Structures are given as structure tokens and as C-alpha cells.
Amino acid sequence: MGDRIEKVSIIISKGSLDGIYPGLIMANGARAEGMEANLFFTFFGLDAIHAKRHEHIKLATVGNPGLHLATWAGGIPGVSSVMTHYMESKMAKMDFPSIPEFIEMISDTGAGMYACLASVELFGLTKDDFVPQVDDIITVGDFYEMAGGGQIIFT
């Protein structure tokens, strides 16, 4: 039918643990199926590829009713870190990679990794701020060109 997905272009726009993992899981799954996969990091999603920050990404504990924490508890200093550790230890038990490990793994499968130029400028960053897996800093126009013939997934 020609209906098989050949390529996915996944945009990661959020900077929380629960905002970053879904995009990484979808990119990794796409590569495992032999599909072309490219990751585009924009806005707070840039944290996932920031060399100094990407080991310190936290779960969003307030404004996240899915956690079943009372909202006021989510706002107590330290609660975000506690929940993040809990989630991370659960993930480690399941041999789930950390974000830095996952980025490296996905890059090793041949997926492309790109930072959004407008966001990079907005936050005053340069290519040196990013992990070496980042292939390039690109414009929205470049993104659309790369994404042609595939599915765009904004996360």
C-alpha cells in the first residue's frame, strides 16, 4: 500500500523528564523499526542536549495532576527532586537509560539530532553548550525540508 512510515521528525519542546522521554522513546522505536528518525530540540527541550544540564532534568511535579500528588505538596521545596529520584530509580530497575545515555544510544543508531536556531539565540547558547551528538543548529525552514516525506511529531 505504500503505507509504511519511512521517516519521523520528532520535536522535543519541553524541559521536564516527562516532557523529554516520550520523544526519545519514539525516536528510538522508529530506528529499531528501520525508519529514518531525526530529533529537533526547541525551547526548553534544548535542556535535553545541554552538556551541563541534561543530567539534572526533573519531573514536572506541579501542574501535573497525573502524579496524584496534592498540588501544594508538589510545590514544597525538594518534592520535585524526590519524585524525580523515585522515577529514575524505577527506570534504572527496568534498565531504562538516563537522558544522557539515551541521547547517546539514539545517536549511535544513526538518528540525527538538531537544535532550533531561534531558541538557541533566545537563550544565548552556542554549539559548544551542547553534547557532541548534536549534528547542527538549524532554522525552521531547514527543519521542514528535512521532514518532507515523513511524519512530524511535536512533543
Return the C-alpha torsion angle 139, 153, 53, 117, nearest 10. 10
29 near a copy of itself, judged by CB under 8 A? yes
Q: At its nearest, how many Å lie between a copy of itself and the CB of residue 85?
A: 14
**Side chain identity at residue 59, one-letter code:** L
Of 18 and 104, CB closest to a copy of itself: 18
DSSP secondary structure letter of residue 154: E
Q: Which is nearer to a copy of itself, 82 or 135 (CB)?
A: 82
Of the pair 10, 113, the CB lying nearest a copy of itself is at 10
Neighbours of 117 (CB within 10 A): 17
Residue with the three cell numbers 531558541: 119
Site for a copy of itself in 122-151 (CB under 8 A): 122, 124, 139-141, 143-145, 147-149, 151
* Residue 26 interacts with a copy of itself (CB under 8 A): yes or no: yes
CB 105 within 8 A of CB 74: no
Tell me if 47 contacts a copy of itself by CB under 8 A: yes
